[in-house]
């Protein structure tokens, strides 16, 4: 299904934001008076852009030359070879090692940015969005978020001028400050080859469209230009290291001391002890029921707690308390004791002793009590 | 002088009445210090018989004789108005497992049947049946038995209550862990710009390397504090506030509040748990279900010693004695109840019923008349009155009382008439179990309460910390805003294989990239819930199952759920939908 309209009714930023918010996949074509641009979206993010008046390879060649990634002589040689060998020029450039693939992708992204920024200056024309399941794009291309594009376009917008529906050449004679393309090499891949969005202090021109992202942070970004002394030395993977550290800490706490997770504050020792005590009480009750069931059949308490596990009366988890202390079990003829061990020693005040006393099914003495009163009751008479 | 004379007369009268009313066996009533509640010889004989009949069952090798032994056990229990013998049922389950282990599957089967008869509907029996089936090679039947067992787990009040409490604790832990991972995700998205900003801040005064080191220290210093594991995520959540979108900030506030409220919730729940697991409450719940377990009477003795002055406890114990056919002991307690609550209808009815069974119809009529006066809408009072009048040949009064009872509730009275009920008794003491629970809770709370205001402040401190986190985050943000924040990269994972697998394996990445906090949190919640499912039994209190089925189902659901979840994500990613 296609959605279409004119740029008189809907501005391009609105259309792009709509596609982004709805996470659409498909192709948006915009037809001006002199050119047609097709933008490919994958889940609401831009993965390719192409113009009728300028092939991808033309635009890309200009970027590569402009950014000094390739010399004019090399480019000429490659073009000649391409004409004879066929295929795609950009594949040939990589295959013949004129440029690294990471450079190619970075240049492609920059080319897409420039094309789209020029497109955003259109205010007349027709658009049509063709929704689909998949679109084709250069493998490894880092998708461009619409918000990223719009912010970038605002920052790089030229002074206002009468709008006219024309397709400008992708590389202006004196371009606005452009994002730097990452330098080649392994570090460049790690350091996000996309254009940087930071450190540009420029008030938005009055005529520039106001871009409001769906979940735009509520704070102004970089209100004033600050000298950047160490930013370049900050590795991009730092966030990952910090995230992994936090995740590992969380998992460690969950596995080793879950009570700390729920009662985390330093002054909650008493509550943590209370919770552990209750958990231990429930565990002791479970063990007691199992041990007494064993007694019911064998007439003695088991020699080891593992016997109860083997009999299916306890699970292996029941051999340690909620704090991970192994339970020391010591049976005697009519009772047994349980003590959680910490460092080989019993935790003080945490043990329990259970006996058959008071259980009419187990305690032979329970029902054989001597009569309380064997004498006649006293009768008081006046 | 007159007062003293009266007092002596009352005492003499009471002693005489006790002598006259006491049956021959009353002299051998057991001491409550030994048996928890007093027991007359017939009750002790019944209990002794149970012990003997159980041993008889244990040594049986013949199915028919074993079934007969179970029938005798149940008949004996019925004499005490009990219907279930849970300890013996657990013993039969253990016996069945032992027999299955020895490949004696026939014996295992009839042991399981005995377990079911002794305490019907227990999940342990169904789980054990599944284990026996599995050992025998009947895998389909084992699965069916397991499926039959799980609904049974929620059919019993104590186990259901504990399970729900465990679920609450698990849910709290789940939300907190998800909160931690959410923060980690935020750090993944915004950690680099945060670090960069801090390095820039220090870079104004320090050389680059020192600035980087200072920024690292500024991020990690809470780790070196006591309880650093807590302070670090809290500190980071404050630092990330400025980089967060509106919905991410909402999630952060919710997490802080959850951290503040969860100790209060846990504390309230802990009191309930301690009471639910206490021997008196277990005894009361067993009485309600007519379950006779080995230490039932000892546990009732604990109840009496914990609340010696409670009228509700006396009323309950009076009902227990009535159930055990210990009428004299019940009568004494009903009288104590009526001294405190003269208009207690159920005590009056039961006391009247006692007189009625003893043939003291005038005493019965007096009690029933008082009950009818105390509660004129009570059909049982008028029905009993009519019966007592009938036994006293007062037929006019009998007709009037019966008519009155039928006017109040015709259906109920007709049922009693059809059943030829001589007199109706009411389990008023049993109905007071919730009241006793409240008293126990108050008594438990009383033992726990410490010095007033300071303790209140200490308990409420987590909530104060949570609220102050909001203020600190806002203040820090306002202080930092003039310096600006570095915009984060739009992509959490750069191009390449890591990108795809990162998105598949780490839910919420896409939402975190576009700053949708609620969606990121929800996306994390599902897989973390599945991962934490096997912890359901370990985070809360262990449920005292008498045969432990293990966490088999949790593992199955967790593994299948995670496979399904990540399978769907993988498929969507491969199709380019994610």
A351 phi, psi to nearest 5 deg: -85, 175
Query: Is the residue at B568 inside a domain?
Result: yes
Burial class (CB in 10 A: 0-12, 13-18, 19+), B561: middle
Tens digits of residue pLDDT in B511-561:
887 788 899 999 999 999 999 888 887 788 888 888 877 778 888 899 999
Cα separation values, B93 from A377, B102, B137, B292, B330, Å: 47, 14, 19, 17, 36
Mean pLDDT score, B58-87: 91
Q: Is B48 an interface residue toward A (CB < 8 Å)? A: yes
A30 phi, psi to nearest 5 deg: -125, 120
Of B12, B208, B465, the CB nearest to A382: B12
How confident is the model at residue B420, as a pLDDT?
Answer: 83
Rounded Cα–Cα distance for residues B334 and B350 (Å)? 8
Inter-residue contact A63 to A90 (CB < 8 Å):
no
Residues B154 and B40 in one domain: yes
pLDDT tier at B474, thresholds 50, 70, 90: confident
Residues B110 and B221 in one domain: no
Closest CA to A317 of A279, A345, A344, A349: A279
Query: Is the residue at B239 inside a domain?
Result: yes
Query: Is the residue at B288 inside a domain?
Result: no
Count CA within 13 A, CB hemisphere, residue A140.
13
A134, closest residue in chain B (CA to CA): B576
List the domain boundaries for chain A. 2-226, 267-355
Of B277, B458, B510, the CB nearest to A267: B458
Of B37 and B132, more confident:
B132
Residues B197 and B110 in one domain: no
Mean pLDDT score, A82-106: 80
Rounded Cα–Cα distance for residues B183 and A249 (Å)? 12
Query: Is the residue at B300 inside a domain?
Result: no
How confident is the model at residue B191, as a pLDDT?
Answer: 84
Of B399 and B2, more confident:
B399
Cα separation values, B520 from A231, B187, B295, B523, B535, Å: 28, 13, 52, 5, 23
% chain B with pLDDT above 70: 89
Inter-residue contact B265 to B220 (CB < 8 Å):
no
CATH number of the CATH domain containing B357: 1.25.40.10
How confident is the model at residue B487, as a pLDDT?
Answer: 58
- Alpha carbon distance, N-terminus to C-terminus of chain B: 97
Work out the mean pLDDT of chain A and round it to a whole number.
73
Q: Is A353 an interface residue toward B (CB < 8 Å)? A: no
B459, closest residue in chain A (CA to CA): A268
Residue B213 scores a pLDDT above 50: yes
Structure tokens at B270: 């802990």
Interface of B with A in 340-359 (CB under 8 A): none
pLDDT tier at B230, thresholds 50, 70, 90: confident
Tens digits of residue pLDDT in A192-230:
333 332 222 333 333 333 233 333 333 333 333 344 444
Residues B337 and B266 in one domain: no
% chain B with pLDDT above 90: 40
How confident is the model at residue B15, as a pLDDT?
Answer: 37
Residues B51 and B92 in one domain: yes
pLDDT tier at B9, thresholds 50, 70, 90: very low
Structure tokens at A209: 């469209």
Residues B313 and B440 in one domain: yes
Interface of A with B in 234-293 (CB under 8 A): 234-244, 246-247, 249-250, 252-254, 258, 260-268, 271, 274-275, 278-279, 281-283, 285-286, 289-290, 292-293
Residue A130 scores a pLDDT above 70: yes
pLDDT tier at A173, thresholds 50, 70, 90: very low
How confident is the model at residue A161, as a pLDDT?
Answer: 44
% chain A with pLDDT above 90: 11
B295: chain A residues, CB-CB within 8 Å: 358-360
How confident is the model at residue B560, as a pLDDT?
Answer: 94
Q: Is B10 an interface residue toward A (CB < 8 Å)? A: no
pLDDT tier at B498, thresholds 50, 70, 90: low
How confident is the model at residue B70, as a pLDDT?
Answer: 94
Closest CA to A45 of A17, A12, A86, A84: A17
Highest-scoring range by mean pLDDT, A174-183, A269-278, B494-503: A269-278
Give the count of beta carbons closer than 10 Å to the beta carbon of residue B440.
22
Instruction: Judge: A25–B576 Cβ closer than 8 Å, yes or no.
Output: yes
* Angstroms from B353 CA to nearest CA on chain A: 26
Q: Is A355 an interface residue toward B (CB < 8 Å)? A: no
Q: Is A372 an interface residue toward B (CB < 8 Å)? A: yes
pLDDT tier at B485, thresholds 50, 70, 90: low
How confident is the model at residue B12, as a pLDDT?
Answer: 40
User: Which residue, B118, B142, B158, sits at the end of a domain?
Assistant: B158
Residues B135 and B187 in one domain: no
pLDDT tier at B377, thresholds 50, 70, 90: very high
User: Which residue, B158, B175, B193, sits at the end of a domain?
Assistant: B158
pLDDT tier at A2, thresholds 50, 70, 90: low
Helices (H) and strands (E) in chain B, counts: 28, 0
How confident is the model at residue B456, as a pLDDT?
Answer: 78
- Bridge partners of A6, per DSSP, are A126
How confident is the model at residue A223, as a pLDDT?
Answer: 36
Please state the domain count of chain B. 3
Inter-residue contact A135 to A41 (CB < 8 Å):
yes
Inter-residue contact B298 to B36 (CB < 8 Å):
yes
How confident is the model at residue A228, as a pLDDT?
Answer: 43
Tens digits of residue pLDDT in A341-360:
988 888 888 889 999 888 88
Query: Is the residue at B352 inside a domain?
Result: yes
Instruction: Judge: A233–B245 Cβ closer than 8 Å, yes or no.
Output: no
Interface of B with A in 489-528 (CB under 8 A): 489-491, 494-496, 510, 513-516
Instruction: Judge: B514–A147 Cβ closer than 8 Å, yes or no.
Output: yes
Work out the mean pLDDT of chain B and round it to a whole number.
85
Interface of B with A in 77-96 (CB under 8 A): 87-88, 90-91, 94-95
Give the count of beta carbons closer than 10 Å to the beta carbon of residue B153.
19
Residue B347 scores a pLDDT above 90: yes
Of B50, B54, B491, the CB nearest to A192: B491
Residues B225 and B255 in one domain: yes
Residue A75 scores a pLDDT above 90: no
Residues B187 and B141 in one domain: no
* Angstroms from A338 CA to nearest CA on chain B: 16
By DSSP bridging, strand A335-342 and strand A345-346 are antiparallel
* Angstroms from B77 CA to nearest CA on chain A: 13
By DSSP bridging, strand A26-31 and strand A36-42 are antiparallel
A222: chain B residues, CB-CB within 8 Å: 484-487
Report pTM: 0.66
For an interface test with A, which of B9, B495, B524, B545 has the most A Cβ atoms less than 10 Å from its Cβ? B495
Q: Is B308 an interface residue toward A (CB < 8 Å)? A: no
Instruction: Judge: B172–A371 Cβ closer than 8 Å, yes or no.
Output: no
Rounded Cα–Cα distance for residues B19 and A138 (Å)? 104
Rounded Cα–Cα distance for residues B27 and A370 (Å)? 11
User: Which residue, B134, B158, B182, sits at the end of a domain?
Assistant: B158
How confident is the model at residue B268, as a pLDDT?
Answer: 80
Structure tokens at A137: 């794009």
Structure tokens at A158: 């030229």
Structure tokens at A181: 């393309």
How confident is the model at residue B484, as a pLDDT?
Answer: 64
* Angstroms from A205 CA to nearest CA on chain B: 20
Of B310 and B206, more confident:
B310
- Interface contacts A/B by beta carbons within 8 Å: 356
Residue B145 scores a pLDDT above 80: yes
Residues B437 and B474 in one domain: no
- Of B12-21, B299-308, B337-346, B422-431, which gets the smallest average pLDDT? B12-21
* Angstroms from B234 CA to nearest CA on chain A: 11
Rounded Cα–Cα distance for residues B153 and B159 (Å)? 7
- Of A258-262, B53-57, B61-65, B257-261, which gets the smallest average pLDDT? A258-262
A224: chain B residues, CB-CB within 8 Å: 482, 484
Inter-residue contact B93 to B115 (CB < 8 Å):
yes
- Of A101-115, B355-369, B472-486, which gets the smallest average pLDDT? B472-486
Instruction: Judge: A215–B514 Cβ closer than 8 Å, yes or no.
Output: yes
A278: chain B residues, CB-CB within 8 Å: 270, 273-274, 277, 541
pLDDT tier at A263, thresholds 50, 70, 90: confident
Of A214, A371, A378, the CB nearest to B27: A371
Residues B542 and B559 in one domain: yes
Mean pLDDT score, B306-319: 93
Instruction: Judge: A223–B514 Cβ closer than 8 Å, yes or no.
Output: no
Rounded Cα–Cα distance for residues B412 and A239 (Å)? 74
Inter-residue contact A138 to A118 (CB < 8 Å):
no
Q: Is A186 an interface residue toward B (CB < 8 Å)? A: no
Mean pLDDT score, B331-340: 93
Interface of A with B in 154-183 (CB under 8 A): none
B102, closest residue in chain A (CA to CA): A311
Mean pLDDT score, B397-413: 93
Of A240 and B323, more confident:
B323
Q: Is B480 an interface residue toward A (CB < 8 Å)? A: no
pLDDT tier at B192, thresholds 50, 70, 90: confident
* Structural domain for B234, as ranges: 160-271+454-574
Instruction: Judge: A193–B494 Cβ closer than 8 Å, yes or no.
Output: yes
Interface of B with A in 107-136 (CB under 8 A): 128, 131
Structure tokens at A28: 């948006």
Q: Is B534 an interface residue toward A (CB < 8 Å)? A: no
pLDDT tier at B492, thresholds 50, 70, 90: low
Interface of A with B in 193-222 (CB under 8 A): 193-194, 197-198, 213-222
Q: Is A329 an interface residue toward B (CB < 8 Å)? A: no
Of B176 and B482, more confident:
B176
Highest-scoring range by mean pLDDT, A23-37, A292-306, B1-15: A292-306
* Angstroms from B273 CA to nearest CA on chain A: 8
By DSSP bridging, strand A126-131 and strand A345-346 are unpaired
Residues B347 and B391 in one domain: yes
CATH number of the CATH domain containing B84: 1.25.40
How confident is the model at residue B33, as a pLDDT?
Answer: 66
A382: chain B residues, CB-CB within 8 Å: 8-9, 12
Tell me which DSSP letter residue A73 carries: H
Residue B283 scores a pLDDT above 80: yes
pLDDT tier at B495, thresholds 50, 70, 90: low
How confident is the model at residue B490, as a pLDDT?
Answer: 53
A230: chain B residues, CB-CB within 8 Å: 199-200, 202-203, 208, 211-212
For an interface test with B, which of A192, A217, A297 has the most B Cβ atoms less than 10 Å from its Cβ? A217
Instruction: Judge: A240–B270 Cβ closer than 8 Å, yes or no.
Output: no
Mean pLDDT score, A153-181: 44
Rounded Cα–Cα distance for residues B311 and B333 (Å)? 9
* Angstroms from B212 CA to nearest CA on chain A: 7
Residue A279 scores a pLDDT above 60: yes
B100, closest residue in chain A (CA to CA): A311
């Amino acid at each position: 299904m296609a959605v279409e309209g004119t740029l008189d009714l809907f501005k391009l930023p609105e259309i792009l934001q709509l596609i982004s918010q709805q996470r659409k996949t498909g192709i948006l074509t915009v037809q001006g008076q002199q050119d047609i641009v097709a933008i490919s979206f994958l889940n609401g993010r831009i993965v390719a852009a192409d113009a009728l008046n300028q092939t991808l390879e033309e635009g890309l060649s200009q970027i590569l030359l402009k950014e000094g990634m390739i010399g004019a002589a090399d480019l000429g040689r490659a073009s000649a070879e391409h004409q004879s060998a066929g295929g795609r020029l950009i594949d040939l450039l990589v295959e013949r090692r004129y440029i690294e693939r990471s450079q190619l992708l970075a240049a492609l992204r920059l080319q897409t940015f420039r094309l789209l920024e020029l497109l955003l200056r259109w205010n007349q024309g027709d658009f049509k969005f063709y929704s689909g399941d998949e679109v084709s794009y250069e493998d490894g291309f880092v998708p461009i978020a619409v918000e990223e594009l719009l912010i970038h376009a605002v920052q790089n917008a030229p002074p206002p001028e009468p709008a006219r529906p024309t397709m400008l050449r992708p590389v202006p004679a004196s371009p606005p400050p452009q994002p730097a393309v990452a330098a080649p090499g392994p570090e460049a891949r790690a350091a996000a080859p996309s254009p940087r969005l930071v450190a540009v202090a420029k008030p938005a021109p009055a005529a520039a469209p106001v871009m409001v992202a769906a979940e735009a942070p509520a704070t102004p970004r970089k209100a004033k230009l600050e000298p950047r002394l160490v930013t370049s030395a900050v590795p991009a993977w730092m966030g990952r290291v910090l995230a992994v550290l936090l995740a590992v800490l969380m998992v460690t706490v969950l596995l080793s001391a879950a009570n700390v997770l729920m009662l985390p504050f330093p002054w909650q020792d008493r509550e943590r002890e209370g919770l552990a005590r209750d958990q231990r009480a429930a565990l002791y009750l479970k063990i007691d029921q199992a041990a007494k069931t064993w007694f019911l059949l064998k007439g003695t308490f088991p020699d080891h707690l593992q016997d109860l596990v083997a009999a299916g009366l306890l699970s292996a988890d029941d051999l340690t308390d909620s704090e991970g202390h192994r339970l020391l079990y010591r049976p005697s003829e009519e009772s047994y004791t349980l003590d959680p061990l910490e460092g080989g020693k019993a935790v003080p005040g945490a043990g329990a002793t259970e006996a058959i006393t008071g259980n009419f099914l187990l305690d032979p003495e329970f029902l054989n009590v001597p009569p309380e009163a064997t004498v006649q009751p006293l009768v008081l008479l006046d | 002088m007159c007062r003293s004379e009266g007092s002596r007369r009352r005492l003499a009268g009471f002693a005489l009445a006790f002598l006259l009313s006491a049956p021959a066996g009353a002299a051998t009533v057991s001491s409550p210090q030994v048996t928890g509640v007093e027991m007359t010889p017939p009750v002790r004989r019944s209990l002794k018989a149970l012990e003997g009949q159980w041993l008889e069952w244990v040594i049986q090798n013949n199915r028919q004789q074993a079934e007969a032994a179970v029938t005798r056990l149940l008949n004996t229990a019925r004499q005490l108005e009990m219907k279930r013998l849970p300890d013996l049922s657990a013993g039969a389950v253990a016996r069945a497992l032992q027999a299955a282990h020895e490949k004696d599957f026939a014996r295992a089967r009839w042991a399981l049947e005995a377990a079911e008869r002794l305490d019907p509907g227990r999940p342990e029996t169904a789980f054990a049946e599944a284990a026996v089936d599995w050992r025998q090679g009947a895998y389909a039947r084992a699965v069916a038995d397991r499926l039959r067992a799980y609904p049974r787990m929620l059919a019993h009040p104590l186990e259901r209550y504990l399970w729900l409490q465990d679920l609450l604790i698990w849910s709290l832990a789940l939300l907190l862990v998800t909160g931690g991972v959410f923060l980690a995700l935020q750090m993944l998205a915004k950690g680099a710009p945060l670090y960069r900003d801090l390095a820039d801040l220090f870079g104004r005064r320090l050389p680059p390397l020192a600035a980087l080191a200072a920024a690292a220290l500024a991020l990690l210093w809470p780790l070196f504090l006591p309880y650093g594991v807590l302070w670090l995520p809290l500190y980071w959540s404050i630092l990330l506030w400025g980089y967060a979108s509106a919905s991410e900030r909402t999630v952060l506030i919710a997490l802080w509040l959850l951290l503040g409220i969860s100790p209060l919730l846990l504390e309230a729940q802990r009191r309930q748990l301690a009471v639910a697991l206490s021997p008196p409450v277990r005894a009361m719940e067993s009485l309600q279900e007519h379950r006779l377990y080995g230490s039932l009477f000892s546990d009732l003795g604990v109840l009496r010693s914990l609340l010696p002055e409670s009228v509700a406890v006396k009323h309950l114990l009076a009902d227990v004695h009535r159930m055990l056919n210990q009428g004299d002991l019940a009568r004494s307690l009903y009288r104590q109840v009526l001294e405190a609550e003269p208009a207690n209808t159920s005590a009056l009815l039961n006391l009247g019923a006692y007189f009625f069974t003893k043939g003291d119809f005038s005493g019965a009529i007096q009690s029933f008349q008082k009950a009818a006066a105390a509660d004129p809408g009570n059909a049982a009072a008028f029905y009993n009155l009519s019966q007592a009048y009938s036994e006293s040949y007062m037929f006019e009064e009998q007709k009037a009382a019966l008519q009155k009872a039928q006017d109040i509730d015709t259906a109920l009275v007709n049922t009693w008439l059809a059943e030829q009920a001589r007199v109706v008794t009411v389990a008023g003491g049993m109905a007071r179990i919730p009241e006793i629970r409240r008293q126990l809770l108050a008594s438990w709370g009383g033992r726990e309460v410490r010095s007033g205001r300071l303790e209140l402040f200490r308990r409420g401190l987590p909530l104060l910390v949570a609220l102050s986190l909001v203020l600190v985050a806002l203040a820090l943000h306002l202080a930092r805003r003039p310096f600006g924040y570095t915009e984060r990269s739009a992509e959490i994972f750069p191009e390449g294989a890591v990108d795809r697998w990162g998105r598949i394996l780490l839910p919420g990445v896409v939402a975190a990239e576009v700053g949708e906090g609620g969606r990121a949190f929800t996306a994390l919640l599902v897989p973390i819930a599945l991962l934490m499912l096997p912890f359901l039994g370990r985070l809360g209190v262990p449920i005292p199952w008498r045969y432990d089925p293990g966490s088999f189902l949790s593992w199955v659901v967790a593994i299948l759920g995670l496979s399904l979840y990540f399978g769907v994500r993988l498929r969507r990613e491969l199709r380019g939908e994610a």
